[in-house]
Amino acid sequence: MTQNHKIQYKIGKKVFILSQLYKLILMKNLIITILTIISFSSIFAQQADTLAVHDPAAKKILDRVSKKYKAYNTLRLYFLYQMYDNKDTTNRMKEHYKGYLYIKGQNKYKLIVPELEIFSDGVKIYTFNKKDKELTITLYDPESQSVLSPQKLLFIYNKGFKYLYRGQATFDTKSLANGKVVPKKRTMYIVDLYPEHPRKSQYSIIRIWIDKNTDQIVSIKYQGRNGIDYVVDILQQTPNIKIPALMFTFDRKRLPKGVEITDMTEN
């Protein structure tokens, strides 16, 4: 995604170019998208912004999805991420790439995409911009409203969302098989989530497609109030794999030469 002007923002001691800051926000949104949805078990819902409905059909499906994912000790997701600008009628797709998300327990995870890596060791959050050779360290606070807190996200379903079952249909989807992305036809449930306080949320609707046969999430679409949509297609899900502790451990010696470190946890 290109930017016409290099507008700068200052966070703590660090100055970010707008494009860099926007990239970090996108990565945070991606972690919200995946970690939030896989943790649903009992969320509050309603059919529309003004009409409250506890849809039992949607709750039954989300409960099964939650039970399945919460039974995993670890999880690796291979996904396709896409961003669309609905205000641009000539070129809606602004960004797309594939990546991995590793999850272990409630507070350890690592996101790997072409230009960025973000991981949590349960104490701090490390954001590594590989292109610009910059590493930013922030505190992990399970009690904060940080979107990067898996422990917080595991209980986000207790408030803030409404849900509605939209039905089921058969779709042509994508899946990873033998190292290649191939088409796959699936019958899926469709569930819509609505923020309880839409004016405070950057999203108006979150739509989830769930495989009817496996109760696994296949695709998620975040519809932005600003006309920007984010879509995550999960191409492969591998539960209970062995994830080395090194993946969630910060070691300066493993950083490439010339990396600038900004530690925002220091007093």
- Domain-embedded: residue 146: yes
Residue 121 covered by a domain: yes
164 lies in some domain = yes
> Could you give the dihedral angle defined by the CA atoms of residues 97, 73, 24 and 192, in that order, rounded to the nearest 10 degrees?
70
In the chain, the number of structural domains is: 1
Distance, CA of 175 to CA of 184 (rounded, Å): 6
The answer to whether residue 81 is domain-embedded is yes
**Measured distance CA(176)–CA(70) in Å, rounded:** 23
In a domain, residue 166? The reply is yes
Tokens of 54: 């506890």
Angstrom distance (rounded) from CA 196 to CA 31: 20
Is the predicted pLDDT of residue 128 greater than 90, yes or no? yes
Instruction: Give domain status of residue 44, yes or no.
Output: yes
Mean pLDDT score, 99-123: 87
The domain that holds 36 is classified in CATH as 2.50.20.10
Taking residues 175-181, what's their average pLDDT?
87
| Closest listed residue to residue 216, CA positions, set 93, 55, 34 | 34
Residue 147 lies in a domain: yes
| 2 domain-assigned | no
Asked if pLDDT for residue 140 goes beyond 70, the answer is yes
pLDDT tens per residue across span 55-71: 889 889 888 888 888 88
- Greater confidence (60 vs 201) lies with 60
Count Cα neighbours of 191 within 13 Å in the Cβ-side half-sphere. 29
Question: pTM for the complete prediction?
Answer: 0.78
The amino acid at 49: D
Instruction: Using pLDDT thresholds of 50, 70 and 90, give the confidence band for residue 34.
Output: low
Q: Please indicate whether residue 134 or residue 28 has the higher confidence score (pLDDT).
A: 134
What is the span of the domain harbouring residue 39? 12-263
